Structure 1
Amino acid sequence: MSVPSLQRLSITKECATYGSDEPRLEISTPCLKYLKIFECRGYYNFLEDMPKLVEADVSVDMSKNEKLLRVLSSVEHLVICLYPSIVLDLTDSLIFNRLLHLELNTYPEYTEDQLYCLGSEPSSVPKCLSFHLESIQWRGYAGTLDEREAAAYILKNAHRLKTSTIRLHRTCMDNGQIIMKDLTSMSKASASCQLVIV
């Protein structure tokens, strides 16, 4: 698909319509400003950067679409589904100079090959996290070790953070009070950050 003037792109496929097909799409849209992909089985190859991209809402299999993160680096508003262990890679391996709002939807149900812990924090704190990020929403937080380390890292280093909303995963409601206490005890770089846990 090559549409040089395209500014909005939405790719959606409902789970109920899945067959055995895995869509493969090469995309060339250098003027794109808004991107939404809700399609967990496809492969998407973006042939060039999208420096005008402002907002992205992405729910894909990141193991098949590793290069997708590169084209998201100019966004101001990012909604993305990730395994918690990838959260630090998201901020360390890429430069998100304009990122103001980050919404994470995490997958708490792991298979054995996805159960790996964060090795260490990134060697340096990305500027987007230290000086730009103003709000974060985290959906599906279950209090796993990976999630806890990622949350602690973000709160400890986000100096401009104004709001941090963490929505607990439905499976951890029995331990909700313990998880809430743990989150509220984490040190925060921003004294004005309002932490909301629901």
Structure 2
Amino acid sequence: MSYVTVEDTSFVDLSLLKILHLKSIISPKIDLSLLLYGCPNLEVLKVRRLDCETKGKFIILPKLVRVSIDGPLLSLETFKDVEVLKFDYVMPIFQPNLDLNFDFQNLVQLQLEVALDWLLVLKVLNHCPKLQSLVINIYKTLVRYYQTLNLPGYEEDVWPYPPIVPACISSHLKTFRLKDYSGSKDEFHFVRYMLENAKYLQTMKIRFDCGYVTMGTMKIRTLSQENDMKRELYSIKRSYTCTLSFE
């Protein structure tokens, strides 16, 4: 369902529905949880550009397996039993005080958008004990611009990571893909943490961003600069089973 206006979802009965894609739906007075409450057998949910009310209600969707969502429209606990989960929004911005009192017990594939808070990423991974595949999109366009202005709160801080490594990293993670890597201190520190602790990692792919911002101007990274970044990443100690490649 896409590009429509929904007036009322006070009564929804879609008990046979297994796949639901919502895109560009305008429904400012309707709670998404009420709509999904009428889809008890839903297995796949994809939400894009949904303009509706959300109260963060927890609803039970016992057969839900795969979710892709671009905003904090539902309680995260709604997705606790899924196997594949894709967040297309920057979690630190929308959920700065993320409190997880449950585990994603069945989750094997996860995609996140990340700005600055790598410790938040580890906090989430601590609750994904069986995770095997991780994709992280680095979203730092505005952050990098603010860094050029030397505004407080936008430094490339490198924080000490917790001494206990999330179980999924040390025991289960097989593939890790990092998109729009710029080589900043915080990014490199996180990559090093992952490579040094992911004992069963088989594949790590890194895609460089197209350039960087300085004095409000986008600069394209040179081939020589990219090669320097690759050498720095290759120097990190990693499991002998892990193949490091670049896109």
Find the counterpart in structure 2 of residue 192 from structure 1: 241
Find the counterpart in structure 1 of residue 232 from structure 2: 182
SS in 1 for 2:127: coil
Per-residue displacement from partner, 1:28-69 (whole Å, max 9, x unpaired)?
243221110134xxx423174534200011111312235497
Q: Any unmatched runs of 5+ in structure 2?
A: 1-32, 213-220
Residue 33 (str. 1) matches residue 65 (str. 2): yes
Letter of the structure 2 residue corresponding to residue 158 of structure 1 = A
The verdict on how the C-alpha distance between 1:115 and 1:36 changes in structure 2, with shifts beyond 3 A counting, is same
Aligned-pair identity (%): 21
The verdict on how the C-alpha distance between 1:114 and 1:10 changes in structure 2, with shifts beyond 3 A counting, is farther
Higher RCO (CA < 8 A, seq sep 6+): 1
Q: Distance in 1 between matches of 2:193 and 2:180?
A: 18
The structure with more radius of gyration: 2
Per-residue displacement from partner, 1:116-164 (whole Å, max 9, x unpaired)?
5132011211111001000001000000011000000000000000000
How many Å apart are 1:87 and its aligned residue?
Answer: 2.8
RMSD (Å), alpha carbons: 2.6
The verdict on how the C-alpha distance between 1:143 and 1:47 changes in structure 2, with shifts beyond 3 A counting, is closer
Q: Distance in 2 between matches of 1:186 and 1:9?
A: 38
Letter of the structure 1 residue corresponding to residue 81 of structure 2 = K
Q: Distance in 2 between matches of 1:168 and 1:159?
A: 24
- The question of whether the paired residues in 2 share the 8 Å contact of 1:46 and 1:71 is answered with no
How many Å apart are 1:197 and its aligned residue?
Answer: 1.6
Letter of the structure 2 residue corresponding to residue 120 of structure 1 = P
The verdict on how the C-alpha distance between 1:180 and 1:70 changes in structure 2, with shifts beyond 3 A counting, is farther
Q: Any unmatched runs of 5+ in structure 1?
A: 15-20
- The question of whether the paired residues in 1 share the 8 Å contact of 2:114 and 2:136 is answered with yes
Q: Distance in 1 between matches of 2:123 and 2:60?
A: 26
The verdict on how the C-alpha distance between 1:65 and 1:101 changes in structure 2, with shifts beyond 3 A counting, is same
Letter of the structure 1 residue corresponding to residue 83 of structure 2 = V
Letter of the structure 1 residue corresponding to residue 134 of structure 2 = L
Question: What is the TM-score with the length of structure 2 in the denominator?
Answer: 0.67
Find the counterpart in structure 2 of residue 107 from structure 1: 139
